[in-house]
A and B are shown apart, each in its own frame.
Chain A
Amino acid sequence: EAGVTQFPSHSVIEKGQTVTLRCDPISGHDNLYWYRRVMGKEIKFLLHFVKESKQDESGMPNNRFLAERTGGTYSTLKVQPAELEDSGVYFCASSQAGSRETQYFGPGTRLLVL
């Protein structure tokens, strides 16, 4: 069974540019999450999808971040325009529906904003 995949693995952009990160969850997983780790700090929650619906986006830093999950399959996270403080590792995770779910993580996308 394929795990959670993320693309790209690395991205280097200049301040003010736009970047789109993609996450493909494990097949059949309704729940999809985005997390971020900035400069070696804690891994922080960004948002949670159930199928195509945003269930909780309380962790999104500001309106420069836009997440979508078209058709309840893969998800994209767009940062527009990117700022220096957006640099970090963006993780995606997915889980099956249920109260005792385990979240399985992807390898992350390392974003560097110059």
Chain B
Amino acid sequence: AQSVSQHNHHVILSEAASLELGCNYSYGGTVNLFWYVQYPGQHLQLLLKYFSGDPLVKGIKGFEAEFIKSKFSFNLRKPSVQWSDTAEYFCAVLRSSGSARQLTFGSGTQLTVLP
């Protein structure tokens, strides 16, 4: 069975600090990975995604993630966070079986950035 683990449930940083959120997955098929973000009062938005090719993926708002196959990881990084990055972050893996699709999400990481 596939699963996604986000080990950090709540992260608190000061502005300008660097961010790394951990994500480990367990899935035996072709790996398609996503990071979504939910800002307060808003809906889930896609930050970035990995399907194939360059394992270093760049997304919106200065975020990036690195797919490390040997470690089953897809950690999210940002060199310098801003107060506006306060949100909940979700890692997800896409499971495909024929034409059926479903995302399996991690439990989410709440990021609080202090001004």
Contacts and interface: CB of A to CB of B under 8 A. Distances in A.
A106 B43 contact: yes
Contacts, number: 57
Interface in A21-66: 31, 33, 35, 41-45, 48, 50, 55-56, 58-59
A45 B102 contact: yes
Contacts of B32: 100
Contacts of B45: 105
Given A107-B43, A108-B43, A100 B102 contact: no
A4 B107 CA distance: 23
A102 B102 contact: no
Interface size class of B (residues with CB under 8 A): 20 to 34
A42 B96 CA distance: 19
B99 A55 contact: yes
A90 interface: no
Interface in A72-114: 91, 93, 95, 99-108
B44 interface: yes
A32 B42 CA distance: 20
B49 A50 contact: no
B67 interface: no
Contacts of B103: 33, 35, 43, 45, 93, 103
A48 B107 contact: no
B47 to A, nearest CB: 11
B90 interface: yes
Given A50-B99, A56-B102, A95-B101, 6 more contacts: A31-B101, A91-B44, A100-B32, A102-B34, A105-B45, A106-B43
Interface of A: 3-4, 31, 33, 35, 41-45, 48, 50, 55-56, 58-59, 91, 93, 95, 99-108
